[in-house]
Amino acid sequence: MLIINENIEKAKLKSGRNDDVKLIAVTKTIDVERIKEAIALGVKDIGENKVQELQTKIPLLGDNINYHMIGYLQTNKVKYIFDKISLIHSLDRISLAKEIDKRAKSKNIIVDTLVQVNVAEEDTKSGLKVEEVIPFIEEVLKLENIKVRGLMTIAPFTDDKKLLRNIFRTMSKIKDDIISRNYERISMDFLSMGMTNDYEIAIEEGANLVRIGTGIFGKRNY
């Protein structure tokens, strides 16, 4: 925990940044008691990749935490979580956007989302291709109760630092491109990128949300 916070600060210094980088503790498969220990150490944001786990953990952890949905979201499960989470990081298709919008409308709320981009075009990962992002965002713009607040990516698991840096840099470029288009209802507040393996590089390239699991809780045994 403490080491990670230090490393985040170091990476910020290295890149001359003084804006906020928020740590999201990824708690998938981690039980509530251990999550509470992390909360006692200062964790305020929690990321989960399964709706089911969010549904069980949210009532146990309470309202003072920001919950993030970071995994593939099935359309038929939106209804269970859309009004309980701060940010959906995994918006990757129009059918999902429409369902979120419909549910949000029924409660008269706006749901914040990030568009997931699969920069490396890995078959095993969801997310849009780089060139699909702008047309997708222009479609989502038409939906009034869903708001795009930024972009998210999961980089390949590799030691190739140059490749990782290129991927994160591409994300920053897409972000800048979107900003330059001055869309009325889109604010590029968040770049969610960087996990245990690569968060320092991600921060150097502009990430302001990092999602860290193993680095806080140790290796998961699936």
| Positions in the binding site for ligand PLP (CB under 6 A) | 26, 28, 49, 70-71, 154, 195-197, 211-215
Residue 154 beta carbon to ligand PLP: minimum distance, rounded to whole angstroms: 5
Residue 144 beta carbon to ligand PLP: minimum distance, rounded to whole angstroms: 27
Closest CA to 143 of 181, 106, 185: 185
**DSSP per-residue codes, 22-45:** EEEEE-TT--HHHHHHHHHTT--E
DSSP assignment letter at 157: S
**190 token code pair:** 């968040």
Nearer residue to ligand PLP within complex by CB, 98 or 156:
156
Nearer residue to ligand PLP within complex by CB, 49 or 140:
49
Residue 137 beta carbon to ligand PLP: minimum distance, rounded to whole angstroms: 20
Distances from the Cα of 76 to the Cα of 24, 46, 72, 221, angstroms: 25, 22, 12, 28
Nearer residue to ligand PLP within complex by CB, 172 or 196:
196
Residue 117 three-state SS:
strand
Closest CA to 191 of 169, 211, 171: 171
Q: What one-letter code names the amino acid at 214?
A: T
Residue 133 beta carbon to ligand PLP: minimum distance, rounded to whole angstroms: 18
Is the Cβ–Cβ distance between 209 and 192 less than 8 Å?
Answer: yes
Residue 30 beta carbon to ligand PLP: minimum distance, rounded to whole angstroms: 10
Nearer residue to ligand PLP within complex by CB, 91 or 212:
212
Of all residues in the shown chain, the one whose CB is closest to ligand PLP is: 213
Nearer residue to ligand PLP within complex by CB, 114 or 143:
114
Is the Cβ–Cβ distance between 165 and 202 less than 8 Å?
Answer: no
